[in-house]
Amino acid sequence: MTTLHLVTDSSSEPRVTLAHGNGGRHMRALIEDVFARHLSNPLLDIQADAVTLPDHHDGELVFTSDGVTVQPLFFPGGDIGSLAVHGSVNDLAVSGATPRYLSINSFLEEGLPLTHLERIVTSLAQAARDCGVQVVTGDTKVLPHGQGGGLYFGVSAIGVKPRGLRLGCTRIQAGDAILVSGPVGDHGIAVMLAREQFGIRGEVRSDSASVVPLTQSLLDIPGLRFMRDPTRGGLATVLCEIHRATGLGITVKESHIPIRPAVQSVCDMLGYDPLYLACEGRVVAVIDAAQADEALARWRVLPGGAEAQRFGRIDGNVDRVLLVNDWGGERVLQELEDDPLPRIC
Amino acid sequence: VPHLVEQRHNHATARMNNTTAQNAAQAEAIGAYRWILSGRVQGVGFRPFVYRLATQLGLTGTVSNRGGCVVIEAQGSVESLAQFETALLREAPAIATPTILDCAPISLNESLCERGFVIEISTNAESSAPHVTPDYPVCEQCLAEMHDSGNRRYRYPFITCTQCGPRYTLIERLPYDRPNTGMAEFSLCPQCSTEYSDPGDRRFHAQPIACPHCGPQLQFVGRGHAPLIGNEASLAAAVDALAQGRIVAVKGIGGYHLMVDATNTTAIERLRQRKHRPHKPFAVMFPWQGTDGCDAVREHAELSAVEKDALTSAERPVVLITHRKPQTLPICLAPGLKQLGALLPYSPLHHLLLDALDRPLVATSANLSGEPVIIDNAVAEQRLADVADAFLHHDRPILRPEDDGVVRHIARRARPLRLGRGSAPLEMTLPFHLTHPVLTLGGQQKNTLCLAWKNRIVISPHLGDLHQHRAQKNFEHHARALPSLYGVEPSLLIADAHPDYHTTRWAKAINNPTPRRMPGSSGLNSLDSGIHRDDEQAIDVHFVHHHHAHASALCGEHSRFEHDTLVFTWDGTGLGPDGSLWGGEALFGRPGQWRRVASFRPFPLLGGDRAIREPWRMAAALCWETRNDWQPLSVPKEIYSLLHQAWQRKLNSPPCTAIGRLFDAAAALLGLVDVATYDAQAPMLLENIAEGEGRAVPLPHAVDEAGVLRCDWQPLLRHLLDERQNVEQRVADFHRTLAQTLLVQAEYARDKTGVRTIGLSGGVFQNRRLTETVVDELTQAGFEVLMHERIPCNDAGLSYGQLMHCLPLLQKSERQ
């Protein structure tokens, strides 16, 4: 004879169950109570299978897609909800586009406390409002317990870009300056400290934010060549990508790269290189050297741009990505063989 | 190999009862023979030597260079021919290493008698001998001429002959003829030209020959002065600057040295500050004094016979010697160490400088930390602008950079720690012929390259640590330049299995070139600097694990391919086949097939590479792993506690079994060093501080689930923390315990496998105290001990070891 022990949560907190994903009443209730309530806007129709978007005669459509996972779901400076918005909005922003619409697919793990879900969706909605984007469609699935890290998002985003604006690696030329809008590595360290529950978590906050104001502020500078948000793999990986795509060398002044002392000291301690850690609210821009100061000046008066720096240049005389220290020592930044902080993005 | 002398000896034995008259008749009989000699016989004055010898003995015939060999045809009395052959090997020029490849009788030739003995000048095609000679120190005869006020090369800093001077560093391409060397720009004056073409002259075909009229000149560049040109004026200015405690970058044979008065503490400290090199020992060049040249060294150091021989050998390496007690030279030359790297002058310029100053000089490779030695005048002034006060240049180009070699007296021999000027390129022979040339790429630190083709092996000089960009470029340059110097195109590259070594990345990039995304872009692709050959012919890449290469290098050096050996590969860290970081492994087998039979209890490297630079992390890791309480004074509490949390969560803490890291931990636990400023600082400090025989702490050994006997270091850690004994005693105990552990593991392997031959390889065996204790204990226990003799035991031996590890496989594929 077997006794079945029903596992009950001591706090009897409402949680996501498999029933929330079965297409029935529970699911409808969840979508209405949590998603629709926070995300409501004129285009979002939770009954419809597809959304019709208005015409956009003012520019070209730009479309991007992103999968969002992070552990823990909440971390200093943000959570997976705000991260989902910022990640895809920033991908559009660095291409020169103004983000307009989001699609959110939620993969909920059975057992996720509904209060957590609500906090996340609230945060997502707030981030979307701040960025001026509307969540116009979405879907919800529930994964059995143990098959998801609490919650994943699949996000697609559409933006509108001025006609004729061409940014990209092909425009990069030797001599161009390279700028970064703020300190690097904050997000990577903040999430890692939160995930590992280090005692010092309060000191470093994720930089998770929209970079739309930063990218928009440079669009009318004719010498702007290329922008990228240094997420997974960090600043170093962006530089390696530029090098690979253009075949041009890059020289970077180590002391000109903004890094917060707290981030640097945690990295020193744990043996991580902040140049390879993810940012979620920074922009790297390659720009004609003659217009670099103008770009920096514009960034520095914007929120999130106060610590912008010009830190490197496209260098026709070298054939790799070189990091030069104050004594003239030179180190090569390589593409990562292995992820130093796996699963952070 | 047939030898005339042996043949003749056999005949003589057979003719035991012959009369004296018959013997005399025999001796007067005329014969003719052809010898083919190989080895280092070109560019070393061998043909003029043969010419003089043959002429002396009244022989007629010819000598010529053919391929890599020297071919001699000689006729005359059988007695003279026999004397000739003996003298060919015995009296050969000091820097030649001839071996007789073949000896055969030939028919007599009347016309030869009329011409006497002739040096046949080889055509280029014939003389394309792919032998490259290392650089040699100025010879006694040149030195005597330089000191002779009546000689036309009196005080000439570039005096040289066939027996001395730069070779490898001066050669742009082969054959070794003047137009192919750095001397191409200097045309010979009539007097030099006469010497160059006179077969009886010591300078016959001496490619770097020069004199004050036609040769290179010194140039002195000081701060705030117009450059001085001319030998005497420049030399005087440099001597003056050095005497005043200034730092002078002096262009030498394989690169620039930074020189400073080694008796002037303030000046040395200034150099340390400017080089950002707080502790790493500086090499010191002593004046050549006394009959054996070593008097000045002996004034400051205890010198063993082995060390003396090494100091004055043709390699003129840096030799580790022991300070006198009490120490007479400044502590800051090598803080915390009883030993000092000493070398004697090897170029004529060094002799002139040191003679004038009559005191030892720091002679450290001129570079920025971690970069290759500087060889170019303009680069020197640019890169060393903040380091050197003045520059003593010359206008003879250095074509191949080369640091000074380093040796240390360990277990009865001077053993190489670094291959460099004088000892490299190091040539060895393969037991069979390769059809496909192989280039092996070594490791990430103390890098060397090894090229193998036909039955030849050439090991490059020290290329340094490949962390910095310029060092990486230098490596890539040499990986192309070395094969091209010998006219060889490698079709197989062998690299370390560690994916992040620069050598490994480079090999992969050569093997699998990434297509350019922007064809026609003006930028350089990183592959352009490689061996890449337009995808026509694929270059294969093999990977060898670090410690397999160490073990194979040792067996290769001792030609042990057919028998099993137990090799202790103890070093810093290298990637093992199980994905963990090895460095305390006893490997059983032979090149190509190694099995780990013994190791140590693993411990975490807290913070990856950081742990290697900061020994206190190793100490902390060992303590936390064994619930011991310890905290270094220099590390703030918050940092310590953060690292503790990282350890609990196993963040960036790869497991490791390296003995080098146990040394780090011990040095930190005993308060010797928390953060290292140079490679192997902690073990060097430990070795220096040990006093007395030491007593072994018994350590438990147990076989793990994979069948590996693992030693648990925990009792040793507890002993190190036991403050009832003084530090010196505990350090001695530490060494003795490791030696004892090695013996226990060796005896375990003997019980299991019957193995009686034990090898020692890996950087840990640069430690003289440990190594000599180990050798004693193993010998007493009835083992035969193999150690490195020509190849460094550290990572400089990896390139050769990678080749040796693959040799059985290569031989098999050759047979098929």
pLDDT in tens, B382-434: 999 999 999 999 999 999 999 999 999 999 999 999 999 999 999 998 989 99
**Of A197-206, B310-319, B623-632, B670-679, where does mean pLDDT reach its minimum?**
A197-206
Please give the pLDDT value at position B129: 52
Cα–Cα distance, B170 to B183 (Å, whole number): 8
Which two tokens mark B711? 């030693």
Interface predicted TM-score of the whole assembly (ipTM), two decimals: 0.85
How far, rounded to the nearest angstrom, does the alpha carbon of residue B714 sit from its chain's CA centroid? 37
| b/e B42-53 (16+ beta carbons within 10 angstroms → b) | bbbbbbbbbbbb
Given a contact cutoff of 8 angstroms between Cβ atoms, the answer to whether B453 and B445 are in contact is no
Query: CB distance B368–A327 less than 8 Å?
Result: yes
Q: Which residues of chain B have a Cβ shorter than 8 Å from any chain A Cβ?
A: 276, 368-371, 383, 386, 467-470, 472, 499-500, 502, 505, 514, 516-518, 521-526, 528-529, 606-611, 638-639, 641-643, 645-646, 649, 651-652
Rounded to a whole number, what is the distance in Å from the CA of B682 to chain A's nearest CA? 20
Closest Cα in chain A to B611: A271
Which two tokens mark B530? 């490689």
- Look up residue B158 and give its amino acid: F
Using the 8-state DSSP alphabet, how is residue B289 labeled?
B
Q: Is A55 on the interface with B (CB under 8 A)?
A: no
Closest Cα in chain A to B606: A270
Q: Is A342 on the interface with B (CB under 8 A)?
A: no
Contacts of A176 in chain B (CB under 8 A): none
Query: CB distance B529–A319 less than 8 Å?
Result: yes
Cα–Cα distance, B108 to B536 (Å, whole number): 52
Closest Cα in chain B to A268: B610
| Omega before residue B326 within 30° of 0, cis | yes
CA distances from B178 to A201, A287, B125, B208 (A): 68, 51, 15, 7
Query: CB distance B468–A334 less than 8 Å?
Result: no
Closest Cα in chain A to B635: A269
Host H or E run for residue B23 = helix B20-28
Rounded to a whole number, what is the distance in Å from the CA of B282 to chain A's nearest CA? 20
The backbone region for B72, taken as left when phi is positive above 0, alpha when psi lies in -120 to 50, beta otherwise, is beta
Given a contact cutoff of 8 angstroms between Cβ atoms, the answer to whether B448 and B496 are in contact is no
β pairing state of A78-79 and B318-323: unpaired
User: Among A277, A325, A330, which would you mutate to test the B interface (most chain B Cβ atoms within 10 Å of its Cβ)?
Assistant: A330
Instruction: Indicate the pLDDT class of residue A28, thresholds 50, 70 and 90.
Output: confident
Q: Is A246 on the interface with B (CB under 8 A)?
A: yes
Instruction: Indicate the pLDDT class of residue B177, thresholds 50, 70 and 90.
Output: confident
Query: CB distance B518–A246 less than 8 Å?
Result: yes
Contacts of A265 in chain B (CB under 8 A): 639
* Closest partner CB to A329 (pick from B368, B606, B643): B368
Query: CB distance A269–B607 less than 8 Å?
Result: yes
Rounded to a whole number, what is the distance in Å from the CA of B704 to chain A's nearest CA? 29
CA angle A272, A276, A281 (to 5 degrees): 120
- The string of DSSP letters for B379-422 reads HHHHHTTTT-SEEEEESSPP-S--PBPEEEEETTEEEEEE--BT
Cα–Cα distance, B20 to B18 (Å, whole number): 7
Closest Cα in chain A to B527: A319
Cα–Cα distance, B197 to B521 (Å, whole number): 52
Strand-pairing partners, residue A105, are A139, A154
Which two tokens mark B173? 């391409």
Residue B381 has φ and ψ, to the nearest 5°, of -65, -35
Closest Cα in chain B to A315: B523
pLDDT in tens, B44-74: 888 889 998 999 999 999 998 887 788 999 9
Rounded to a whole number, what is the distance in Å from the CA of B526 to chain A's nearest CA? 6
Query: CB distance A271–B609 less than 8 Å?
Result: yes
Question: Residues near B30 by Cβ (< 8 Å), separated by ≥ 6?
Answer: B75, B76, B77, B78, B108
Please give the pLDDT value at position B25: 55
- Burial zone of A100 (CB within 10 Å; 0-12 exposed, 13-18 middle, 19+ buried): buried
Query: CB distance B610–A271 less than 8 Å?
Result: yes
Q: What sign for the dihedral angle of Cα A117, A119, A120, A126?
A: positive
Mean pLDDT over each residue of chain B, to the nearest integer: 90
Strand-pairing partners, residue B544, are B496
Q: B32 in helix, strand or coil?
A: strand
Q: Is A325 on the interface with B (CB under 8 A)?
A: no
Q: A305 in helix, strand or coil?
A: coil
Given a contact cutoff of 8 angstroms between Cβ atoms, the answer to whether A316 and A235 are in contact is no
Strand-pairing partners, residue B566, are B588, B758
Contacts of B651 in chain A (CB under 8 A): 192, 196, 270
| Omega before residue B490 within 30° of 0, cis | no
Rounded to a whole number, what is the distance in Å from the CA of A80 to chain B's nearest CA? 23
* Closest partner CB to B469 (pick from A268, A332, A340): A332
Please give the pLDDT value at position B26: 58
Is A4's pLDDT higher than 50?
no
- Look up residue A4 and give its amino acid: L
User: Among B638, B642, B650, which would you mutate to test the A interface (most chain A Cβ atoms within 10 Å of its Cβ)?
Assistant: B642
Rounded to a whole number, what is the distance in Å from the CA of B208 to chain A's nearest CA? 34
Rounded to a whole number, what is the distance in Å from the CA of A175 to chain B's nearest CA? 12
How far, rounded to the nearest angstrom, does the alpha carbon of residue B205 sit from its chain's CA centroid? 28
Cα–Cα distance, B434 to B439 (Å, whole number): 12
Rounded to a whole number, what is the distance in Å from the CA of B312 to chain A's nearest CA? 36
Closest Cα in chain B to A246: B518
Cα–Cα distance, B231 to B248 (Å, whole number): 16
- The string of DSSP letters for B150-184 reads TSTTTT-TT---TTSB-SGGGBSSSS--GGGBTTT
Given a contact cutoff of 8 angstroms between Cβ atoms, the answer to whether B686 and B663 are in contact is yes
Query: CB distance B526–A328 less than 8 Å?
Result: no
CA distances from A304 to A219, B81, B299, B595 (A): 17, 91, 66, 57
Closest Cα in chain B to A199: B642
Q: How far apart, in Å, do the first and last CA atoms of chain A sit?
A: 49
Query: CB distance B524–A319 less than 8 Å?
Result: yes
Quote the strand ranges of B603-730, DSSP E: 603-604, 655-656, 701-703, 709-711
> How many CB atoms are closer than 10 A to CB A19?
15
Contacts of A328 in chain B (CB under 8 A): 368, 383
Query: CB distance B646–A330 less than 8 Å?
Result: no
Q: How far apart, in Å, do the first and last CA atoms of chain B sit?
A: 28
Count of alpha carbons within 13 angstroms of residue B635, beta-carbon side: 25
User: Among B274, B379, B469, B610, which would you mutate to test the A interface (most chain A Cβ atoms within 10 Å of its Cβ)?
Assistant: B469
| Omega before residue A303 within 30° of 0, cis | no
Tell me the residues of chain A between 175 and 194 that have a Cβ less than 8 Å away from chain B.
192
Cα–Cα distance, A258 to A242 (Å, whole number): 20
Instruction: Indicate the pLDDT class of residue B4, thresholds 50, 70 and 90.
Output: low
Please give the pLDDT value at position B28: 67
Percentage of chain A exceeding pLDDT 70? 93
Please give the pLDDT value at position B813: 82
pLDDT in tens, B683-711: 999 999 999 999 999 999 999 999 999 99
Cα–Cα distance, B211 to B223 (Å, whole number): 29
Cα–Cα distance, B599 to B704 (Å, whole number): 10
Rounded to a whole number, what is the distance in Å from the CA of B521 to chain A's nearest CA? 7
Q: Is A266 on the interface with B (CB under 8 A)?
A: yes
Give the residue from B147, B173, B27 showing the smallest Cα distance to B480.
B173
Which two tokens mark B414? 């001077």
Q: B670 in helix, strand or coil?
A: coil
CA distances from B420 to A284, B373, B375, B656 (A): 45, 12, 15, 31
CA angle B33, B39, B42 (to 5 degrees): 85
- Residue B3 vs residue A272, higher pLDDT: A272
Please give the pLDDT value at position B531: 44
pLDDT in tens, B736-788: 999 999 999 999 999 999 999 999 999 999 999 999 999 999 999 999 999 99
* Closest partner CB to B525 (pick from A174, A247, A329): A247
SS3 content of chain B, % helix, strand, coil (to 5): 35, 25, 40
Is B518's pLDDT higher than 70?
no
Cα–Cα distance, B365 to A326 (Å, whole number): 21
Please give the pLDDT value at position A340: 42
Closest Cα in chain A to B518: A246
- Residue A249 vs residue B118, higher pLDDT: A249
Residue A191 has φ and ψ, to the nearest 5°, of -70, -40
Contacts of B514 in chain A (CB under 8 A): 244
Closest Cα in chain A to B645: A198
